[in-house]
Amino acid sequence: MNFNFINLQPYTNPQYFVYLMIGLVPIIIGLYHGHRLKIYEVAFSLVFLFLIFDGDKWQQGVNLIIYLLFQLLVSYWYLHYRQNGKNKTWVFYLAVVLAILPLVLVKFQIAFPKAPIPGVLAFLGISYITFKTVQVIMEIRDGAIKELDLSTYLRFLLFFPTFSSGPIDRYRRFAKECNVAPKRDQYLADLEIATRNLFQGFLYKFVLGWFFGTYWLPKISKAALIAGAANGGLKFSWWLVAYMYCYSMYLFFDFAGYSLFAVSISNFMGIHTPVNFNKPFISQNIKEFWNRWHMTLSFWFRDYIYMRFTFFAMKKKLFKNPIRLSQAAYLLLFLTMGFWHGLTWYYIVYGLFHAIAIIINDCWLRYKKKHKEQIPSNKFTKWLAIFVTFNIVCFSFLIFSGFLSELWFGWK
């Protein structure tokens, strides 16, 4: 059969937005008049999801459906268990392990493509759905979620604007909004922000991101490889420094641009998906940086790993010294984040690097607090702090980029 499949990966090119906007028109008109057209919304989302997984990507789509059924089974089984008033810790652990199991298998599959695990295939969005299901299980455990409405839950997991790469929303927040229409005044304000975000996204992703990532980066990369080969040793060169800054800018504008799109399209649909970036490069220290960079991810790790771990450890008095405890928790958090990015040395080193950076940063903050009088604090120190933080962050992105691996070992 000679059927022509249209396959659309989210937000990858300007035409995509034309289709998207046409699809959004009824939703916008509906919300403006105070009606949420739920059935249309679902159909609209399903069409765009279908367009991600049709054509030669159909196997990914099948895996997505199986994966979803599995996640629903785990969530509802655990919910049922909790509703019966039982609350064994090992059952909770089991539920969490089951929820992350598919993702772990997929990560292994990507890291070791030569040893295929039968039936396991990475599909777009798996990481971000996993964040959502794990979050729900944890809140069921806490008793914060007592009911899971199936259609709301599915709409939450498959919420199309944030499907591929976040931002990561929270179930209870989403559930409050997704069945009602916002007030007209509120919605008009949303539209205004949404339009601005959309165009800022264009500027970020298609203009600035393009310059850094598509225009300059390949040239710098080539030059760095040549200069590296010529210099020998650790293959350092000034081009590598250029690569570090250029890649960092690319990473920011590309991802921040994408996130702006996701937030903007959510807003058009009357959903206030949390923002992902808040001027990360004006951070004065690493801790502040993680409150401004990929915020929904770092908040997820903060709330569901760091805080839970410290709460648990403190309650059980596992650590005598709270400073040691927080250091251990940072290591746990950032190593998990590193492994989540992928089972490759540079992602794990990236995690480790940030753990160490934030531990040192905490030591410094404590020292500063103690010696408030001796340490000057003025405009200059502020800019110095921003400068130092920026460079440390860019260096961590150089690790993250995998370019060092290419430079040293010839693979990425």
Partner 1 sequence: MSNKRRLWQIFGPVLCAFILLLVIFLMPWERTFSKDAIYQAANSQTTTIFKGSRMKQNAFDDGYVPFYGSSELSRLDPLHPSVLAEKYHRNYRPFLLGGPGSQSLAQFLGMQGTAKQLKNKKAVVIISPQWFTKIGQDPDAFSLYYSPLQACNFLLGIKKTSVSNRYAAKRFLQMPETKGVIKSGMKTIANGQSLTSTQRFLLENQRRMLNNEDKFFSTFQLRDRIQKINGHAKLLPNTYSIKALDQIAKQQAAINTNSNSFGINNKFYKMRLNKRALAKLKDSQRDFNYTKSVEYSDFELMLHQFAKQHTNVLFIIPPINQKWADYTGLSESMYQKSVNKIKYQLNSQGFDKIEDLSKRGSEKYFMEDTIHIGWRGWVAVDQAVKPFMNQKNEPYNYNMRNYFYTKKWQNKPGMIKTTDKYPAVENRKAALKEK
Partner 2 sequence: MNIEKEVLDILQDLTGEDLSERMDEDIFANGLMDSMASVQMLLNLQEKFAIDVPVSEFDRNEWNTPSKIVSKVENSKNE
Cα angle, residue 289 at apex, residues 304 and 126 outer, rounded to 5°: 45
| Beta carbons of 394 and 248 less than 8 angstroms apart | yes
Count of chain residues binding partner 1 (CB under 8 A)? 12
- Assigned token pair, 314: 């403190």
Q: Of 80, 341, 354, 371, which is the active-site residue? A: 341
CA–CA separation, 321 and 314 (whole Å) = 10
33 is catalytic: no
CA–CA separation, 258 and 9 (whole Å) = 12
Q: Is 183 in the site for partner 1 (CB under 8 A)?
A: no
Q: Which is nearer to partner 2, 54 or 303 (CB)?
A: 303
Q: Is 227 in the site for partner 1 (CB under 8 A)?
A: no
CA–CA separation, 45 and 353 (whole Å) = 39
Shortest Å, Cβ 212 to partner 2: 31
326 binds, among partner 2, partner 1, none (CB under 5 to 8 A by kind): partner 2
314 binds, among partner 1, partner 2, none (CB under 5 to 8 A by kind): partner 2
- Assigned token pair, 214: 């598509």
Stretch that binds partner 1, among 142-150, 187-195, 305-313, 397-405 (CB under 8 A): 187-195
139 binds, among partner 2, partner 1, none (CB under 5 to 8 A by kind): partner 2
Cα angle, residue 401 at apex, residues 398 and 405 outer, rounded to 5°: 90
Q: Which amino acid is at 243?
A: Y
DSSP 12: S
The candidate with the shortest Cα–Cα distance to 158, out of 56, 69, 257, 258, is: 69
Shortest Å, Cβ 275 to partner 1: 19
| Beta carbons of 297 and 277 less than 8 angstroms apart | no
Q: Is 324 in the site for partner 1 (CB under 8 A)?
A: no
Q: Is 408 in the site for partner 1 (CB under 8 A)?
A: no
CA–CA separation, 239 and 31 (whole Å) = 51
Binding residues (CB under 8 A) for partner 2: these are 138-139, 142-145, 287, 302-303, 306-308, 310-311, 314-315, 322, 325-326, 329, 365, 369
Shortest Å, Cβ 59 to partner 1: 19
Q: Which is nearer to partner 2, 328 or 349 (CB)?
A: 328
Nearby residues of 64 by Cβ (< 8 Å), 6 or more positions away:
53, 123, 125, 126
Q: Is 2 in the site for partner 1 (CB under 8 A)?
A: yes
CA atoms within 13 A on the CB side of 373: 0
Q: Is 195 in the site for partner 1 (CB under 8 A)?
A: yes
Task: Return the sign of the alpha-carbon dihedral for residues 232, 233, 236, 237.
Answer: negative
Q: Is 4 in the site for partner 1 (CB under 8 A)?
A: yes
Q: Is 387 in the site for partner 1 (CB under 8 A)?
A: no
Shortest Å, Cβ 89 to partner 2: 14
Q: Is 56 in the site for partner 1 (CB under 8 A)?
A: no
Residues at the interface with partner 1 (CB under 8 A): 2, 4, 184, 188, 191-192, 195, 199, 215, 226, 229-230
